[in-house]
Amino acid sequence: MIDIHTNIPLKNYTTMRLGGPARFMAEVRSLAELTELCATARAQQLKIVVLGGGSNMVANDEGFNGLVIRIRLPGFEIVNDDLNTTIIKVGAGESWDETVKKTVDMRLTGMEALSAIPGTVGASPVQNIGAYGQEVSETISSVEALDLTTNSLVVLTNEDCQFTYRSSIFRESAKGRYIITSVTFTLSKNTPQPPFYDAVQTYFDAHSVSLFTPQTVRDAVVAIRSEKLPDPAVLPNCGSFFKNAIVEDWRLNEIKTKYPAIPSYAMADGRFKIPSGWLIETVGLKGQSFHGMKVHDKNALVLINESAQSYADLAAARDVIIGKVRDTFQIVMEQEPLELADLAN
Protein backbone atom coordinates (compact mmCIF):
# COMPACT_ATOMS: atom_id res chain seq x y z
CA MET A 1 0.00 0.00 0.00
CA ILE A 2 1.49 3.33 -1.09
CA ASP A 3 0.98 6.23 1.29
CA ILE A 4 -0.14 9.32 -0.63
CA HIS A 5 0.02 12.59 1.29
CA THR A 6 -1.80 15.79 0.39
CA ASN A 7 -0.99 19.49 0.52
CA ILE A 8 2.69 18.99 1.37
CA PRO A 9 4.92 22.12 1.46
CA LEU A 10 7.67 21.70 -1.14
CA LYS A 11 9.90 24.03 0.87
CA ASN A 12 10.39 21.11 3.28
CA TYR A 13 11.80 18.95 0.47
CA THR A 14 14.05 21.37 -1.43
CA THR A 15 17.39 22.53 -0.06
CA MET A 16 16.66 26.18 -0.91
CA ARG A 17 13.72 25.87 1.51
CA LEU A 18 11.25 27.60 -0.81
CA GLY A 19 8.15 26.41 -2.64
CA GLY A 20 4.41 26.13 -2.20
CA PRO A 21 2.35 22.97 -1.58
CA ALA A 22 2.29 19.79 -3.63
CA ARG A 23 -1.26 18.57 -4.11
CA PHE A 24 -0.12 14.95 -3.72
CA MET A 25 3.20 13.42 -2.67
CA ALA A 26 4.32 9.80 -2.34
CA GLU A 27 7.52 7.80 -1.89
CA VAL A 28 8.20 4.71 -4.00
CA ARG A 29 10.64 1.94 -3.05
CA SER A 30 10.04 -0.59 -5.83
CA LEU A 31 9.41 -0.67 -9.57
CA ALA A 32 6.00 -2.22 -8.94
CA GLU A 33 5.02 0.70 -6.70
CA LEU A 34 6.28 3.18 -9.27
CA THR A 35 4.39 1.71 -12.23
CA GLU A 36 1.21 1.32 -10.19
CA LEU A 37 1.37 4.88 -8.89
CA CYS A 38 2.03 6.37 -12.34
CA ALA A 39 -0.80 4.37 -13.91
CA THR A 40 -3.18 5.61 -11.19
CA ALA A 41 -2.05 9.22 -11.67
CA ARG A 42 -2.48 8.93 -15.43
CA ALA A 43 -5.99 7.52 -15.00
CA GLN A 44 -6.85 10.57 -12.91
CA GLN A 45 -5.15 12.92 -15.41
CA LEU A 46 -2.67 14.13 -12.82
CA LYS A 47 0.61 15.63 -13.85
CA ILE A 48 3.65 13.82 -12.43
CA VAL A 49 7.04 15.14 -11.36
CA VAL A 50 9.95 13.38 -9.68
CA LEU A 51 11.89 14.77 -6.72
CA GLY A 52 15.14 13.24 -5.52
CA GLY A 53 17.14 14.96 -2.81
CA GLY A 54 15.80 18.39 -3.75
CA SER A 55 19.32 19.83 -3.95
CA ASN A 56 19.15 20.85 -7.61
CA MET A 57 15.49 21.78 -7.81
CA VAL A 58 13.57 24.95 -7.02
CA ALA A 59 9.82 25.14 -6.59
CA ASN A 60 7.64 28.20 -7.14
CA ASP A 61 5.22 29.77 -4.71
CA GLU A 62 2.17 28.16 -6.34
CA GLY A 63 3.55 24.72 -5.60
CA PHE A 64 2.52 21.84 -7.83
CA ASN A 65 -1.06 20.84 -8.69
CA GLY A 66 -0.24 17.20 -9.34
CA LEU A 67 1.69 14.23 -7.96
CA VAL A 68 5.25 14.57 -6.67
CA ILE A 69 7.02 11.21 -6.55
CA ARG A 70 10.02 10.86 -4.26
CA ILE A 71 12.19 8.09 -5.67
CA ARG A 72 13.69 5.77 -3.05
CA LEU A 73 14.57 2.83 -5.31
CA PRO A 74 17.51 0.95 -3.74
CA GLY A 75 20.25 -1.23 -5.20
CA PHE A 76 23.98 -1.60 -5.75
CA GLU A 77 24.92 -4.54 -7.95
CA ILE A 78 28.14 -5.58 -9.68
CA VAL A 79 27.02 -6.49 -13.19
CA ASN A 80 30.42 -7.40 -14.62
CA ASP A 81 33.99 -7.47 -13.38
CA ASP A 82 37.07 -8.03 -15.53
CA LEU A 83 40.76 -7.21 -15.53
CA ASN A 84 40.37 -3.50 -16.33
CA THR A 85 36.83 -2.46 -15.44
CA THR A 86 33.92 -3.05 -13.10
CA ILE A 87 30.33 -2.39 -14.18
CA ILE A 88 27.84 -1.52 -11.43
CA LYS A 89 24.09 -0.94 -11.52
CA VAL A 90 22.76 1.44 -8.87
CA GLY A 91 19.19 2.20 -7.85
CA ALA A 92 17.97 5.73 -8.57
CA GLY A 93 17.10 6.34 -4.93
CA GLU A 94 20.59 5.68 -3.59
CA SER A 95 22.60 8.59 -2.19
CA TRP A 96 25.03 9.87 -4.81
CA ASP A 97 27.89 10.49 -2.40
CA GLU A 98 27.43 7.17 -0.62
CA THR A 99 27.66 5.51 -4.03
CA VAL A 100 30.85 7.41 -4.84
CA LYS A 101 32.29 6.32 -1.49
CA LYS A 102 31.49 2.68 -2.25
CA THR A 103 33.27 2.84 -5.62
CA VAL A 104 36.28 4.55 -4.06
CA ASP A 105 36.39 1.88 -1.34
CA MET A 106 36.46 -0.65 -4.19
CA ARG A 107 39.45 1.28 -5.63
CA LEU A 108 37.55 2.10 -8.79
CA THR A 109 38.27 5.25 -10.80
CA GLY A 110 35.77 7.48 -12.56
CA MET A 111 33.51 9.05 -9.89
CA GLU A 112 36.00 10.20 -7.26
CA ALA A 113 36.07 13.87 -8.36
CA LEU A 114 32.28 13.95 -8.06
CA SER A 115 32.47 13.37 -4.30
CA ALA A 116 30.33 15.33 -1.84
CA ILE A 117 27.72 16.32 -4.43
CA PRO A 118 24.32 16.11 -2.71
CA GLY A 119 21.36 14.29 -4.20
CA THR A 120 20.49 10.88 -5.58
CA VAL A 121 21.95 8.60 -8.23
CA GLY A 122 18.84 8.99 -10.36
CA ALA A 123 19.34 12.74 -10.58
CA SER A 124 22.96 12.48 -11.73
CA PRO A 125 22.30 11.90 -15.47
CA VAL A 126 19.61 14.57 -15.70
CA GLN A 127 22.00 17.50 -15.63
CA ASN A 128 25.13 15.44 -16.32
CA ILE A 129 26.67 16.42 -13.00
CA GLY A 130 30.30 17.43 -13.17
CA ALA A 131 33.07 18.79 -10.98
CA TYR A 132 36.85 19.04 -10.83
CA GLY A 133 37.45 17.66 -14.30
CA GLN A 134 34.95 14.79 -14.32
CA GLU A 135 31.42 14.47 -15.70
CA VAL A 136 29.12 11.60 -14.81
CA SER A 137 28.45 10.97 -18.52
CA GLU A 138 32.02 9.70 -18.85
CA THR A 139 31.14 6.62 -16.79
CA ILE A 140 27.45 6.05 -17.55
CA SER A 141 26.94 3.09 -19.86
CA SER A 142 23.13 3.03 -19.67
CA VAL A 143 20.10 4.40 -17.85
CA GLU A 144 16.98 2.41 -17.04
CA ALA A 145 13.79 4.44 -16.86
CA LEU A 146 10.01 4.29 -16.82
CA ASP A 147 8.68 5.84 -20.02
CA LEU A 148 5.56 7.72 -18.99
CA THR A 149 4.23 7.72 -22.55
CA THR A 150 3.90 3.92 -22.43
CA ASN A 151 4.24 3.19 -18.68
CA SER A 152 6.92 0.63 -19.57
CA LEU A 153 10.58 0.24 -18.61
CA VAL A 154 13.19 1.16 -21.21
CA VAL A 155 16.98 1.13 -21.33
CA LEU A 156 18.72 4.19 -22.77
CA THR A 157 22.34 3.99 -23.89
CA ASN A 158 24.85 6.72 -23.13
CA GLU A 159 24.35 8.00 -26.68
CA ASP A 160 20.56 7.98 -26.28
CA CYS A 161 20.94 10.34 -23.30
CA GLN A 162 22.52 13.03 -25.51
CA PHE A 163 24.79 14.32 -22.79
CA THR A 164 26.22 17.82 -23.09
CA TYR A 165 27.61 20.29 -20.55
CA ARG A 166 25.23 20.15 -17.53
CA SER A 167 22.46 18.79 -19.68
CA SER A 168 20.89 15.71 -21.25
CA ILE A 169 17.76 14.52 -22.98
CA PHE A 170 16.12 14.40 -19.53
CA ARG A 171 16.12 18.18 -19.16
CA GLU A 172 15.82 19.05 -22.84
CA SER A 173 13.95 17.23 -25.65
CA ALA A 174 12.48 14.49 -23.41
CA LYS A 175 11.90 16.63 -20.33
CA GLY A 176 9.35 14.95 -18.07
CA ARG A 177 9.01 11.84 -20.25
CA TYR A 178 11.19 9.46 -18.25
CA ILE A 179 11.49 8.54 -14.58
CA ILE A 180 14.98 7.17 -14.04
CA THR A 181 14.94 3.94 -12.03
CA SER A 182 18.61 2.88 -12.13
CA VAL A 183 21.93 3.88 -13.66
CA THR A 184 24.69 1.55 -14.87
CA PHE A 185 28.28 2.78 -14.65
CA THR A 186 31.51 1.43 -16.13
CA LEU A 187 34.45 2.24 -13.85
CA SER A 188 38.17 1.72 -14.33
CA LYS A 189 40.62 -0.22 -12.18
CA ASN A 190 43.45 2.07 -13.28
CA THR A 191 44.61 4.77 -10.88
CA PRO A 192 43.73 8.43 -11.55
CA GLN A 193 46.33 10.15 -13.70
CA PRO A 194 47.45 13.79 -13.88
CA PRO A 195 46.93 16.42 -15.07
CA PHE A 196 44.32 17.11 -12.40
CA TYR A 197 41.90 20.01 -12.17
CA ASP A 198 43.72 23.14 -10.93
CA ALA A 199 42.08 23.19 -7.50
CA VAL A 200 42.81 19.50 -6.93
CA GLN A 201 46.42 19.85 -8.03
CA THR A 202 46.82 22.89 -5.75
CA TYR A 203 45.49 20.82 -2.85
CA PHE A 204 47.89 17.97 -3.67
CA ASP A 205 50.82 20.38 -3.80
CA ALA A 206 49.86 22.06 -0.53
CA HIS A 207 49.51 18.71 1.25
CA SER A 208 52.51 17.01 -0.43
CA VAL A 209 50.33 14.33 -2.01
CA SER A 210 52.19 12.36 -4.67
CA LEU A 211 50.36 9.03 -4.50
CA PHE A 212 47.28 9.39 -6.68
CA THR A 213 44.43 7.02 -5.90
CA PRO A 214 40.63 7.34 -6.03
CA GLN A 215 40.79 7.89 -2.26
CA THR A 216 43.35 10.73 -2.38
CA VAL A 217 41.30 12.48 -5.09
CA ARG A 218 38.10 12.01 -3.07
CA ASP A 219 39.79 13.35 0.07
CA ALA A 220 40.97 16.42 -1.84
CA VAL A 221 37.58 17.12 -3.39
CA VAL A 222 35.71 16.68 -0.08
CA ALA A 223 38.12 19.10 1.61
CA ILE A 224 37.82 21.68 -1.19
CA ARG A 225 34.03 21.47 -1.33
CA SER A 226 33.62 21.70 2.43
CA GLU A 227 35.63 24.92 2.37
CA LYS A 228 33.80 26.48 -0.59
CA LEU A 229 30.24 25.17 -0.34
CA PRO A 230 27.92 25.69 2.64
CA ASP A 231 26.02 22.74 4.07
CA PRO A 232 22.41 23.09 2.82
CA ALA A 233 21.18 21.60 6.11
CA VAL A 234 22.65 24.64 7.87
CA LEU A 235 22.43 27.37 5.22
CA PRO A 236 19.67 26.76 2.64
CA ASN A 237 21.17 26.66 -0.86
CA CYS A 238 21.24 24.65 -4.10
CA GLY A 239 25.00 24.50 -4.49
CA SER A 240 26.11 26.15 -7.74
CA PHE A 241 23.17 28.28 -8.84
CA PHE A 242 24.55 29.24 -12.25
CA LYS A 243 26.09 27.19 -15.03
CA ASN A 244 29.52 28.31 -16.13
CA ALA A 245 29.34 30.55 -19.19
CA ILE A 246 30.19 29.10 -22.61
CA VAL A 247 31.49 31.56 -25.22
CA GLU A 248 33.02 31.53 -28.70
CA ASP A 249 36.73 32.28 -28.99
CA TRP A 250 36.12 35.72 -30.56
CA ARG A 251 33.93 36.71 -27.61
CA LEU A 252 36.56 35.59 -25.12
CA ASN A 253 39.25 37.55 -26.95
CA GLU A 254 37.01 40.61 -26.93
CA ILE A 255 36.54 40.37 -23.16
CA LYS A 256 40.28 39.83 -22.65
CA THR A 257 41.03 43.28 -24.07
CA LYS A 258 39.48 44.77 -20.93
CA TYR A 259 39.91 41.86 -18.52
CA PRO A 260 43.18 40.13 -19.50
CA ALA A 261 43.18 37.98 -16.34
CA ILE A 262 39.82 36.35 -17.13
CA PRO A 263 40.08 32.58 -16.50
CA SER A 264 38.89 30.27 -19.29
CA TYR A 265 38.96 26.59 -20.19
CA ALA A 266 39.01 25.23 -23.73
CA MET A 267 36.20 22.83 -24.62
CA ALA A 268 36.28 20.01 -27.16
CA ASP A 269 33.99 21.90 -29.56
CA GLY A 270 36.34 24.90 -29.81
CA ARG A 271 34.37 27.11 -27.44
CA PHE A 272 35.55 28.26 -24.02
CA LYS A 273 34.13 27.90 -20.53
CA ILE A 274 34.32 30.95 -18.26
CA PRO A 275 33.71 30.43 -14.52
CA SER A 276 30.48 32.26 -13.70
CA GLY A 277 31.71 32.69 -10.13
CA TRP A 278 34.50 34.88 -11.50
CA LEU A 279 32.00 36.94 -13.50
CA ILE A 280 29.80 37.49 -10.43
CA GLU A 281 32.77 38.37 -8.25
CA THR A 282 34.18 40.76 -10.85
CA VAL A 283 30.94 42.77 -11.00
CA GLY A 284 31.17 43.22 -7.24
CA LEU A 285 28.36 40.96 -6.01
CA LYS A 286 30.33 38.38 -4.01
CA GLY A 287 29.15 38.51 -0.38
CA GLN A 288 26.28 40.87 -1.22
CA SER A 289 22.71 40.38 0.02
CA PHE A 290 19.45 41.38 -1.67
CA HIS A 291 15.85 40.14 -1.68
CA GLY A 292 16.65 37.88 1.28
CA MET A 293 19.34 36.03 -0.68
CA LYS A 294 23.10 36.26 -0.18
CA VAL A 295 25.86 35.62 -2.70
CA HIS A 296 28.20 33.34 -0.76
CA ASP A 297 31.36 35.14 0.32
CA LYS A 298 33.50 32.06 -0.36
CA ASN A 299 31.96 31.00 -3.66
CA ALA A 300 30.05 33.51 -5.75
CA LEU A 301 28.24 30.72 -7.63
CA VAL A 302 26.24 29.89 -4.51
CA LEU A 303 23.09 31.73 -3.44
CA ILE A 304 22.15 31.31 0.21
CA ASN A 305 18.60 31.82 1.43
CA GLU A 306 19.14 34.11 4.42
CA SER A 307 15.59 35.38 4.90
CA ALA A 308 13.70 34.94 1.61
CA GLN A 309 10.13 33.78 2.12
CA SER A 310 9.12 33.19 -1.46
CA TYR A 311 10.31 31.99 -4.84
CA ALA A 312 9.68 35.52 -6.05
CA ASP A 313 12.50 36.72 -3.76
CA LEU A 314 14.87 34.14 -5.24
CA ALA A 315 13.88 35.05 -8.80
CA ALA A 316 14.43 38.75 -8.09
CA ALA A 317 17.91 38.12 -6.65
CA ARG A 318 18.80 35.82 -9.55
CA ASP A 319 17.73 38.45 -12.08
CA VAL A 320 19.82 41.16 -10.37
CA ILE A 321 22.92 38.96 -10.74
CA ILE A 322 22.18 37.91 -14.32
CA GLY A 323 21.48 41.54 -15.26
CA LYS A 324 24.67 42.94 -13.81
CA VAL A 325 26.83 40.28 -15.47
CA ARG A 326 25.00 40.79 -18.78
CA ASP A 327 25.45 44.56 -18.65
CA THR A 328 29.17 44.24 -17.90
CA PHE A 329 30.22 41.29 -20.08
CA GLN A 330 27.34 40.82 -22.56
CA ILE A 331 27.08 37.26 -21.25
CA VAL A 332 23.72 35.88 -20.15
CA MET A 333 24.26 33.30 -17.41
CA GLU A 334 21.92 30.33 -17.09
CA GLN A 335 20.38 29.01 -13.91
CA GLU A 336 21.60 25.50 -13.04
CA PRO A 337 18.87 24.20 -10.66
CA LEU A 338 15.81 22.87 -12.43
CA GLU A 339 12.37 24.39 -12.03
CA LEU A 340 10.19 21.63 -10.58
CA ALA A 341 7.07 22.56 -12.53
CA ASP A 342 8.99 22.54 -15.83
CA LEU A 343 9.75 18.82 -15.44
CA ALA A 344 6.13 17.76 -15.04
CA ASN A 345 4.49 15.40 -17.50
CB 39 within 8 A of CB 151: yes
Is 240 tagged catalytic? yes
Of the candidates 124, 142, 240, 264, the residue annotated as catalytic is 240
SS3 per-residue string spanning the chain: CCCEEEEEEHHHCCCCCCCCEEEEEEEECCHHHHHHHHHHHHHCCCCEEEECCCCCEECCCCCEEEEEEEECCCCEEEEEECCCEEEEEEECCCEHHHHHHHHHHCCCECCHHHCCCCCEHHHCCCCCCEECCEEHHHCEEEEEEEECCCCEEEEEECCCCCCECCECHHHCCCCCCEEEEEEEEEEECCCCCCCCCHHHHHHHHHCCCCCCCHHHHHHHHHHHHHHHCCCCCCCCEEEECECCEEECHHHHHHHHCCCCCCCCEECCCCCEEECHHHHHHHCCCCCCEECCEEECCCCCCEEEECCCCCHHHHHHHHHHHHHHHHHHHCCCCCECCEEHHHHCC
**Residue 42 among the catalytic residues:** no
Pairing state between β 57-58 and 338-339 = parallel
What is the DSSP pairing of strand 140-147 with strand 272-274? Answer: unpaired
Q: Residues for the chain: how many in total?
A: 345
Catalytic residue among 166, 168, 218, 276: 166
* Given 36, 281, 306, 336, the catalytic residue: 336
List residues bridging with 91 in a β-sheet. Answer: 182
Asked if omega into 195 is within 30° of 0 (cis), the reply is: yes
Decide the pairing of beta strands 85-91 and 76-81.
antiparallel
Residues noted as catalytic:
166, 240, 336
